[in-house]
Structure 1
Amino acid sequence: MQRKAIVIGATGLVGQHLIKQLSELYDTLIVIARRPPRYINTSMRFYQVNDFDNLAEVFASVGADRTADAFSCLGTTKKQAGSDETFRKVDHIYNLTFAKLCRDKGVENFFLLSSMNADSDSRFLYNRVKAETEQSIMALGFAQLVIFRPSLLLGKHKGRPLESISQKAFQLISPLISESLPLHPISAKRVASAMAMTAHDIYERSKYRSESAPYSTDIIENKQMLAITRVKH
């Protein structure tokens, strides 16, 4: 059976690492984005969406079905979005729209990049929206939904000089901090590795099941991602 992966958020900090790793696991890699990713190979099919409000139109031609796994690394910040409304549209509406389109086409496995601070009761909009997105996608009933909640992401954030300075400081002290601590920073590459490795493990386990597994939602916290990528990162 030919395996497909469908990815949104492929040009972001985690997404650009994820598509490299997924290209080694899947026969076809479908990338939906506003601009082509830096990494391109022969297994990749790129679909340009100039405005994610029109995602459904683009999605109709990608050939999604139950043989596909879906991955979302789509996200922004309030500063980048420019307003609370636009931030929520990107982080919640677009992610939920993508998930619904996938579920309607029979996609069974969905992998969502969220945040360790996701909390519906938080006083911070970012945390509340992350939690709202998780809960809404849970309600869609994917056979397997896996939510990844990283801590501070280490990597090059274009146009975020203050964040880059903070990351450099964390990188200097990171070897001195135990990875068992919840707030330990994690590189975007290791988050991508955790996502790809988890998807591969689910696929391998599915080959030995005679019946469909019951609906399942797994939440992979930062500590777990650090543990499973300790060798490969």
Structure 2
Amino acid sequence: MPEYLYSDDSIVVVNKPSGLLSVPGRGEDKQDCLWRRVQQRFPTARIVHRLDQATSGLLILALDAEAHRNLSIQFQQRVPTKRYQAIIAGIPERYSGRVELPLRCDWDNRPRQMVDPVDGKPATTDWECVQSYDDRCRVLLHPITGRSHQLRVHMQALGHPIIGDRFYASEPYITASDRLLLHAEQLGLKHPVSGEWMAFEAPCPF
């Protein structure tokens, strides 16, 4: 079950576990999802943004139409601040950097995404290494845009895929973890009613 971190009359903030869909997928076997589980407790909950099924961490849901509209506009205008933590394969030559590579769906291999300088949509990720191990590195990731699989593809494009990523890593790093080592640990945004800046944190579980 998701962990409930905050709720009021307008919003609910949860910590999604890895392996749970954010919204229903196609087919009877993909109907269980975070949104439906939250609706069991908050029947009016509406999804504002998503995390990949394999990614854990913070999600905010709106509890009425006005809050949903306000939060959706905030995400469209890139008002929220987001920070992820990940463990990547190998040790980067630098300790921090920015990836600016446009992305689009890899239509022949959906749901995979791919870098496409011609038809891709702009995508930007800032990253910094905070701890290195023998053959891997813990990084903080700050997505400036919010493209599907953005952090996963950008890390792969650097030559350092995220450990446990069955789409973009290769062996031995796919099976080096029983889950994708990517977690949305911080989320900041304006409350949809009061306008007050709110910051939430879900400590990294790995």
Output the TM-score relative to the length of structure 1. Answer: 0.30
Structure with bigger strand share is 2
Structure with bigger helix share is 1
